[in-house]
Chain A
Amino acid sequence: MFRNQYDTDVTTWSPAGRLFQVEYAMEAVKQGSAAIGLRSKTHVVLACVNKAQSELSSHQRKIFKVDDHIGVAIAGLTADGRVLSRYMRSECINYSFTYESPLPVGRLVVQLADKAQVCTQRSWKRPYGVGLLVAGLDESGAHLYYNCPSGNYFEYQAFAIGSRSQAAKTYLERRFESFNDSSRDELVKDALIAVRETLQGETLKSSICTVAVVGINEDGTNEPFHILDQDAVQKLIDAFEIVKEPATEAPAAAEPEGADGAGASDAAQDPPAPAAADEGAAPMEI
């Protein structure tokens, strides 16, 4: 990309006031496979594209459970993402231990951002090459944050990162105003459609994407952060894939009518509990 004399080290400013190493780190995020997050007043959904390196290998893990009320999706250098997830888990455990209550999401993202900033101001370090979409629930509601390698963080209604995320962002920009009042299932559907946008024509299958949800159910009980089971995701994909996504309003409303009867009634009447009940025995199913 840029080859110039100010990009050797993260502690060197360019004459234009830029830190090139930090910008290059953000490039690494753009090269990773897509990750998408959306939130409503009560739920946050994370979805990501999970491509395996080859048919012989397993898929790269991109969504991590951090605590019952927080989860994270990463794009970029997954090794850096794994290390940061471990840090986040440890922070949550320590906070719960001391205060006997869950760590507020806003606090966690600040700590994460400060940790990233340190790497932009030490000559013997390099910035983390991973972008994190942090989804969480706390007393002030549902939140979605994006943490960058630069040490900045922003709160979003919906966001997409990684390669071909612009296609997903375009879809999200069209629909985001309705997300706050969306139901959990509509939100998951929108997340899947956004993932499909990044695939540029490739068929959306549950084997190449992962979806995770956290939220508060209508009856006040919590839905802890968990990754949806592959079969459940495939059923949802089937329900809306049958009708091609209409260009304008209410694709979520139009699809169940047009779709196969059994699949649609399944998805439309899916109460929040069954997706969690679908889970196997592993409690930290990641």
Chain B
Amino acid sequence: MSRFSPYDNNGGSCVAIAGADYCVIASDTRMSTGYNILTRDHSKIYKLADKCILASSGFQADMKALQKLLAARHLIYQHQHNKQMSCPAMGQLLSNTLYYKRFFPYYTFNVLGGLDNEGKGCVYTYDAVGSYERVGYSAQGSGSVLIMPFLDNQLKSPSPLLLPAQV
């Protein structure tokens, strides 16, 4: 008898690359379970604030729940501070939110992309329980192991503040 699992992996990958005054965030749109495709047209990208976009892959139910929670928290922030959240602020909020469920985690592998307070591109990459780091580029999800080496080869630029080298 196989035990009930509260998690499922709906597959897919996300990438984000930070530039001098821009950030590119991308994901595939396949949602699957096991070897079956559930849909070919489901975006993993969600705009949280004017300058902050979340791309997540993993368990779609947890992805959706996380997006809703962060959006609600953003609304509260706007009511309290009279402005939109910055990407670094959202980055910290996401980390705290993920760690909050340290002992029953959100099965989501996130990449947060946007512009920082100085207008420079920023990308934050996370694990499932909120460990995060600001980087120049990152990939998460099933394809990350294939994408990251490609980006490492093409971008050759670990510093988050430099424009990635031209392809």
B contact residues around A284 at 8 Å (CB): 78-79, 82-83
Task: Determine the distance from Cα of A90 to Cα of B80 in the docked complex, in whole angstroms.
Answer: 11
16 other A-B residue contacts (CB within 8 Å) besides A93-B72, A94-B72, A283-B84:
A65-B79, A86-B79, A89-B75, A90-B76, A96-B72, A97-B68, A97-B69, A281-B83, A283-B78, A283-B83, A284-B78, A284-B79, A284-B82, A284-B83, A285-B82, A286-B82
Main secondary structure of the interface of B (DSSP, over half): helix
Taking a contact as CB atoms under 8 Å apart, the answer to whether B68 and A93 are in contact is no
A282 within 8 A of B: yes
Q: In the complex, how many angstroms separate the beta carbon of B83 from the nearest chain A beta carbon?
A: 6
Mark A45-73 against chain B: 1 for CB-CB distance below 8 A, else 0. Answer: 00000000000000000000100000000
Closest to A97 in B: B72
Chain B residues with a Cβ under 8 A of chain A: 50, 68-69, 72, 75-76, 78-79, 82-84
How many cross-chain pairs have Cβ atoms below 8 Å apart between A and B? 27
A-B contact pairs, 6 of them (CB 8 A): A86-B79, A93-B72, A281-B83, A284-B79, A284-B82, A284-B83
Task: Determine the distance from Cα of A94 to Cα of B83 in the docked complex, in whole angstroms.
Answer: 20
B contact residues around A86 at 8 Å (CB): 79
Task: Determine the distance from Cα of A97 to Cα of B71 in the docked complex, in whole angstroms.
Answer: 9
Task: Determine the distance from Cα of A86 to Cα of B80 in the docked complex, in whole angstroms.
Answer: 9
A contact residues around B76 at 8 Å (CB): 89-90, 93
Q: Looking at chain A, what size class is its interface with the partner chain?
A: 10 to 19
Query: Can you list the 8 inter-chain pairs with the closest CB atoms, starting with the nearest?
Result: A284-B78, A97-B72, A93-B72, A89-B79, A284-B82, A93-B75, A282-B82, A282-B83
Closest to B76 in A: A93
B contact residues around A281 at 8 Å (CB): 83
Task: Determine the distance from Cα of A285 to Cα of B76 in the docked complex, in whole angstroms.
Answer: 14
Task: Determine the distance from Cα of A281 to Cα of B50 in the docked complex, in whole angstroms.
Answer: 11
Task: Determine the distance from Cα of A272 to Cα of B68 in the docked complex, in whole angstroms.
Answer: 31
Q: In the complex, how many angstroms separate the beta carbon of A285 from the nearest chain B beta carbon?
A: 7
Task: Determine the distance from Cα of A86 to Cα of B76 in the docked complex, in whole angstroms.
Answer: 9
Task: Determine the distance from Cα of A86 to Cα of B75 in the docked complex, in whole angstroms.
Answer: 12
B contact residues around A283 at 8 Å (CB): 50, 78, 83-84
Task: Determine the distance from Cα of A202 to Cα of B78 in the docked complex, in whole angstroms.
Answer: 36
Task: Determine the distance from Cα of A176 to Cα of B79 in the docked complex, in whole angstroms.
Answer: 33
